[in-house]
Structure 1
Amino acid sequence: IENETNRQVTYSKRRKGLFKKAHELTVLCDAKVSLIMISSNKKLRDYVSPSTTTKQIFDQYQHTMGVDLWSSHYERMQEELKKLNDVNRSLRREIRHRRGESLIDLNLEELYHLEQNVESAVKVIRDRKYHVIGKKTDILKKKKKRAESIHKVLLHELVARDEDPYGLVDNGGGDYCDPDIIGCSNTDSCMFALRLQPNFHMGEGSDLTTYTLLE
């Protein structure tokens, strides 16, 4: 079937039909059935009679046919295990050398290559360290700049809040009790002009209220 969609639909229908027949053989004929199917998209489907397992089917097949299905597979697994053990020993040996251990058996050329490898590793580590330090420094600079900006705003608000609401009015310098300026009636009494906050104003007009100070 050339069309992929039609091929998958046909495969699904036929697979269900085979599994149905296998189940009928198991129930009606007391047969041990095992089916393994792999589609073109590598999906595996299998069926095995409830009274057995796939491994038991394979074992019975080997016994009946006089063949060993696992020997070649076992040999391949042993070869793969040997390769992995060799790689593991080599890596452990390299780790010991990089830690400065078990160097007595190394010749001059091996020691030179080991030195080069260690220096290269140190350079990579150092570059990474400086990169991390640079990023942290940039972050701290940004935090410091932001903290300074917040500090300036808070300081400005604090100064504005603590400003004396009853500060003396500056009349251009000199004695505040100059009678020609603010009308001191005599030397024993003097008029001072005080600035009040807007919420203390009693009405429209000037925001200055005068009080007579007496001894």
Structure 2
Amino acid sequence: MGRGKIEIKRIENSTNRQVTFSKRRNGIIKKAREISVLCEAAVSVVIFSSSGKMFDYCSPNTTLPKILEKYQTDSGQKIWDENHERLSAEIDLIKKENDNMQIELRHLKGEDLNSLQPKDLIPIEDALQNGYAKVREKQMEVWRHHKKNEKRLEDENKELGYLLHQQHLAMTGKFGDLELGYHQKEREMAPHMGMPFRVQPTKPNLQLNK
């Protein structure tokens, strides 16, 4: 018994609609892959579901932008306006510059040098020497800054030590000098007063009073 024809209209049931979309989508992509392999055709398929999700396929030997560009050239219909073309050119330029920078970075790391000629190694050597000189200069700058801070901290430490010493003398040395001057005066007056010189203790002996 053969399959009956399906009326081509929107499927109302959401579940059946999703199942049909998945089956038909896979079938279209499968047919596109087959014709690309069997006939060496450049094929590109882009499918958007009702929810906006994208599904695409492109032949291995080409890309979607190339196919669109060929379509625009062969059909005479402009897909891109001037703004898009300018942006596309800028993107291509940036990609090319990025690729060149990646190559230069690998060379500076010492990678992929076998394909270079001796004259190509000269600017790489110059760049490395300039970079080394700048690194050494930065190291010396950091070292000088460190020594300067170290000297400043040492001077501050000496100044604080001096201030503490002066404070200590102000609290203890002044009274000691007064007491020493008193005993010196007593020794000088003892012969004139006919009294034997006797040193008095600065503090009473508590044991004598017992």
TM-score using structure 1 length: 0.47
User: Greater strand share, 1 or 2?
Assistant: 1
Higher relative contact order, structure no. (Cα contacts within 8 Å, ≥ 6 residues apart): 1
Greater percentage in helix: 2
